[in-house]
Structure 1
């Protein structure tokens, strides 16, 4: 039987405190928010989650629960995986040593979720997987208390992805034991003389090779002394190109593919990652370092996002200020200006901060799903 886990109540948080800094924590919040039909209740739930009025949280297979300050019993039911799905998931985890190491390091790699999806195992929740219940008289779905519980649960998921696996039905100790059993060869009963006849062994064919071990080698270009007549700048550029090629080869080995980049994006990548002067502009280099191709796109282009995305972002900004008056927003397409800071909404669903320098807007930090997190 899988034991539940208890977590102490979260103390009051500052107004701009972020929910879900990991990608799997953000997926959890998205599953809850996509189910909701009332943005006002979500905004109130975010504010309630920061007040410290929810009691300790209990996580067990298929549910998370807490008691609100008003003595309301709040539960969020989570769809559990069945036995067949668990077997397929364990097959995927056991097949790659990197998956086990990442989980033990409290990380949820994208590759593990992708492998689980290939095996028809819905590891991350989606619309319909979360069912909120509360003893309060609010008919919202979810109500303020259940929404607050989901937002606080994202902090637990950030710290430990095994919390998500426990919600799906099995705890950390049970999973580790199951993986250890899979890693132990089973002893087959022997009949007659020890060993396998040569004809039988050759008839069995060649078994497939195991997955390659995690590739953790980082290429460092050697320091080369220029010979007579060799341009020093050209030699430095050659070293940068060699380092870039090695990094791309490593990414290809790890992921099996490389992102498609335009010539402009590749020039900016070389300048940002390897210091290769390609005349692309210092602002473009900063944008790439903060957000890659998506960060560069936000710097150089504007677009008109869906209205519901903007409405959700505005509700999050208002919730961050709780009872205070939020700063005025001057909005144009995907660009919101709030005083000396500008937030730009990317096509990847994240907000990118910009600060004014010499009359121009410059990238000012990494992106966030929650625009309020960029206003601290």
Structure 2
């Protein structure tokens, strides 16, 4: 059986400290928060997590556990993967060398999780997948102690995605050894196994091996510069043509990277061109919004909308949790826009809050978005 891992208790954190900065850590918290029926208990759980009222955490297959304040035994259970599911997961990891390198570098690639889901291997928990237990008398699901444990666990997941894999049933050493066994071929000749090489005649007889996978596209990229002398292209706006050629190259690279391109209106595409190529089209605020959030940033700049009530309730709880023991700032709320003095937060349809500040009597995009509104206010 895979050995458990122990982690020391987290010390008290500063007001406004964030939970889950990694995308897989946020998915963990979303599964817990979406299951909860009591936002007050979630707020208390965040306060417990930040004020250091959770003892050392033990992570083992199928569970995380800690002793919380008042000596309550708190456990959150996670379903373990079957042996067959682990074999399918290892197939997905071994299929791309970058997956192994990313995991060892303490990163959880999106495409690995997606490939695992396609193979019916759920790595990240969904709503209802986390089962909290606590010896306290609270009937909450989760109670404030289990919620606090989940919030602190998100810090562990941020630092090491192998913590999530251990919860699912297998630890780092066990997985690495399994992958190493898969990387060793079983059809070598005895001589090759002893010497670590292959006879020249045998190597030539094997023919030319297939080429390796192309290198990743996530490298520094500079769009090509179109050379078109104006004296040889009468009637053509060469400067505009250069911009369009560079834009086409960038969009083609984006298509190769992500397999799709968002559909843009004519106006959105004009803003994109101005943002990508520093064009002066009289769209300064729109360009700034695009650079911070793309289509979502542009939408939140120009169109108010009414978010679902649970989204706003969760945001209010997070905002209040950033001021444990202090009174949070007064909020003037209207639809998706919360005004706090000289700062305005706007909730986007992508589930993130965008900061705005006053400039010449108008609200101006002021920075990148955050899922936790308190991070924007305290920052």
Task: Tell me the TM-score normalised to structure 1 length.
Answer: 0.88
Contact between 2:4 and 2:61, CA under 8 Å: does it hold in 1? yes
- What CA deviation, in whole Å up to 9, does each residue of 1:33-92 have, x standing for no partner? 111111110011011111012112121111111111321121111111111111111111
Question: Match of 1:345?
Answer: 347
* Cα distance in structure 1, aligned partners of 2:150 and 2:239: 51
**What is the DSSP-based 3-state SS (H/G/I as helix, E as strand, rest coil) of the residue aligned with 1:70?**
helix
Give 5+ residue unaligned stretches, structure 1.
202-206
Deviation at 1:220? 2.1
Mark the CA change 1:177 to 1:234 in structure 2 (over 3 Å): closer, same or farther: farther
Question: Match of 1:171?
Answer: 171
Deviation at 1:219? 3.3
Mark the CA change 1:228 to 1:325 in structure 2 (over 3 Å): closer, same or farther: closer
**What is the DSSP-based 3-state SS (H/G/I as helix, E as strand, rest coil) of the residue aligned with 1:18?**
coil
* Cα distance in structure 1, aligned partners of 2:255 and 2:12: 45
Contact between 1:272 and 1:288, CA under 8 Å: does it hold in 2? yes
> Of residues 297, 311, 314 in structure 1, which corresponds to 2:313?
311
Deviation at 1:139? 1.6
Mark the CA change 1:92 to 1:212 in structure 2 (over 3 Å): closer, same or farther: farther
> Of residues 262, 266, 289 in structure 2, which corresponds to 1:263?
266
Deviation at 1:181? 2.1
- What CA deviation, in whole Å up to 9, does each residue of 1:232-276 have, x standing for no partner? x95554444333323222222222222222222222222222324
Question: Match of 2:193?
Answer: none
Contact between 1:267 and 1:280, CA under 8 Å: does it hold in 2? no
Deviation at 1:223? 6.3
**What is the DSSP-based 3-state SS (H/G/I as helix, E as strand, rest coil) of the residue aligned with 2:69?**
coil
Question: Match of 1:248?
Answer: 251
**What is the DSSP-based 3-state SS (H/G/I as helix, E as strand, rest coil) of the residue aligned with 1:55?**
strand
**What is the DSSP-based 3-state SS (H/G/I as helix, E as strand, rest coil) of the residue aligned with 2:71?**
coil
- What CA deviation, in whole Å up to 9, does each residue of 1:153-198 have, x standing for no partner? 11111122121111111112222222222223221789xxx98xx9
* Cα distance in structure 2, aligned partners of 1:121 and 1:149: 25
Question: Match of 1:287?
Answer: 289
Contact between 1:59 and 1:167, CA under 8 Å: does it hold in 2? yes
Mark the CA change 1:272 to 1:100 in structure 2 (over 3 Å): closer, same or farther: farther
* Cα distance in structure 2, aligned partners of 1:256 and 1:224: 25
Question: Match of 2:197?
Answer: none
Matches within 5 A, 1:155-194: 155-187=155-187
> Of residues 214, 217, 222 in structure 2, which corresponds to 1:215?
217
**What is the DSSP-based 3-state SS (H/G/I as helix, E as strand, rest coil) of the residue aligned with 1:59?**
strand
* Cα distance in structure 1, aligned partners of 2:185 and 2:370: 45
* Cα distance in structure 1, aligned partners of 2:297 and 2:35: 29
Give 5+ residue unaligned stretches, structure 2.
191-200
Question: Match of 1:204?
Answer: none
Contact between 2:352 and 2:371, CA under 8 Å: does it hold in 1? yes
Question: Match of 1:74?
Answer: 74
> Of residues 275, 278, 283 in structure 2, which corresponds to 1:275?
278
Deviation at 1:225? 7.8
Contact between 1:28 and 1:125, CA under 8 Å: does it hold in 2? yes
Q: Is 1:122 equivalent to 2:122 in the alignment?
A: yes
Q: What is the count of residue pairs matched by the alignment?
A: 365
Matches within 5 A, 1:75-94: 75-94=75-94
Contact between 2:225 and 2:246, CA under 8 Å: does it hold in 1? no
- What CA deviation, in whole Å up to 9, does each residue of 1:320-364 have, x standing for no partner? 222322222111111111111111111111111111112111111
- What CA deviation, in whole Å up to 9, does each residue of 1:263-302 have, x standing for no partner? 222222222223244x151111111111111111111111
**What is the DSSP-based 3-state SS (H/G/I as helix, E as strand, rest coil) of the residue aligned with 2:132?**
strand
Matches within 5 A, 1:329-368: 329-368=331-370
Deviation at 1:9? 1.4
Deviation at 1:216? 3.7
Contact between 1:335 and 1:342, CA under 8 Å: does it hold in 2? yes
Which moves more between the two structures, 145-154 or 245-254?
245-254
Contact between 1:97 and 1:213, CA under 8 Å: does it hold in 2? no
Question: Match of 1:371?
Answer: 373
* Cα distance in structure 1, aligned partners of 2:267 and 2:113: 32
